Structure 1
């Protein structure tokens, strides 16, 4: 059962982060930088995504408890967000920027990467990469793991996040190669397929949340009748 949940989490998180759709944006931001700087920037962006996702994995369910929000209510809200984001990806309405960064004085490639990163971390790492949909997704799965006291599942979610962030690093590094291989049309098609998956998962979240809410409200009444 854990394998099924983890595989679903991996598929949904990868689709929501949509690193393939981020490739053209990353290329436009780093067009004037040399190869070493681009490698550092790919590492910085992927590590930022890792840190953000881990924060929400560990603290997300506590935030729900603090604000008195049930997991089913959050599941419905998260599903609606996923559906809207999925439609936006399908329609090509996700934010892009053609801004090119102006290089500073190059004391070193690492220092240059730090300077560029400080300017592109918002919006590249968040919210374009780690946005409301991926945050909601992580909180939902973390809440379910904690509700079942399933430490093995929680560790699996952590490992999945690490693997996916490593894939983000690899994809950003291979950005120009992917663009040459697939072309702008190919990347666009892949991005829209991911958008369809996100929208479908959002609908499933809403259906599950509504079903649980209805059952939880009807079951006590049935027990009283009996």
Structure 2
């Protein structure tokens, strides 16, 4: 074991910014208001397992299926776009009536364990010892669990009016994030498939 406090703190801060569970609170409340059943422990454990597996086997797993990170990001951006549209327009597109409610999709994936966190753990592998990355993941997911368990308290503090305002504001932000995520990664795919286009743009 090569646990390093500074590496754990640094990796934790990066993951905290990427996962941004605080910024996802309005989304979580919106899912709950529409009848989604949030199981904090299930969502946390699924996200934790997925992230740890991806830390060790991410590139190999994607290679087996011929899928890259940017493809994951594009798929995740589509889900986020639909969720943002639901929040802004007050409509329901995705049905959350399965036995797992919203705990697995979209909370565990893509909100917590999504394209951003997948990309991040792969990038961290190049800089930090794997045990420190795992420790950082565990710390972040412990915080995610506490936030998910506190949704009732947050709901009472904000009230219906506050939640309504947050839903609209964060819905627009979520739409913007999803579009940026989509455009960035579709550009990567285009440059990969058609490298001559990149050359033409850089040297017209």
User: How many Å separate the matches in 2 of 1:160 and 1:198?
Assistant: 25
Bigger helix share: 1
Identify if the C-alpha distance between structure 1 residues 96 and 68 changes in structure 2 by more than 3 Å, giving closer, same or farther. closer
User: How many Å separate the matches in 2 of 1:90 and 1:156?
Assistant: 39
Cα offset for 1:179?
A: 1.9
Question: Unpaired runs of 5+ in structure 2?
Answer: 1-6
Residue 82, structure 1, aligned to residue 92, structure 2: no
Identify if the C-alpha distance between structure 1 residues 190 and 198 changes in structure 2 by more than 3 Å, giving closer, same or farther. same
Over residues 127-157 of structure 1, what are the superposed CA-to-partner deviations in whole Å (9 max), with x where a residue is unaligned?
A: 24213454333333344x17xx514297776
Residue of structure 1 in register with 2:118 after alignment: 139
Identify if the C-alpha distance between structure 1 residues 141 and 181 changes in structure 2 by more than 3 Å, giving closer, same or farther. same
Of 168, 176, 181, 1:200 maps to 176
Residue of structure 2 in register with 1:179 after alignment: 155
User: How many Å separate the matches in 2 of 1:166 and 1:7?
Assistant: 14
The size of the alignment, in residue pairs, is 187
Cα offset for 1:68?
A: 1.9
User: How many Å separate the matches in 1 of 2:65 and 2:41?
Assistant: 35
Identify if the C-alpha distance between structure 1 residues 186 and 14 changes in structure 2 by more than 3 Å, giving closer, same or farther. same
Over residues 35-58 of structure 1, what are the superposed CA-to-partner deviations in whole Å (9 max), with x where a residue is unaligned?
A: xxxxxx644553344234433444
Instruction: Check conservation: 1:54, 1:158, Cα contact below 8 A.
Output: yes
Instruction: Check conservation: 1:72, 1:210, Cα contact below 8 A.
Output: yes
For normalisation by structure 1, the TM-score amounts to 0.56
Over residues 179-216 of structure 1, what are the superposed CA-to-partner deviations in whole Å (9 max), with x where a residue is unaligned?
A: 22111232343344443333322222233224334545
Instruction: Check conservation: 1:13, 1:137, Cα contact below 8 A.
Output: yes
Q: Which moved more, 1:207-216 or 1:88-97?
A: 88-97
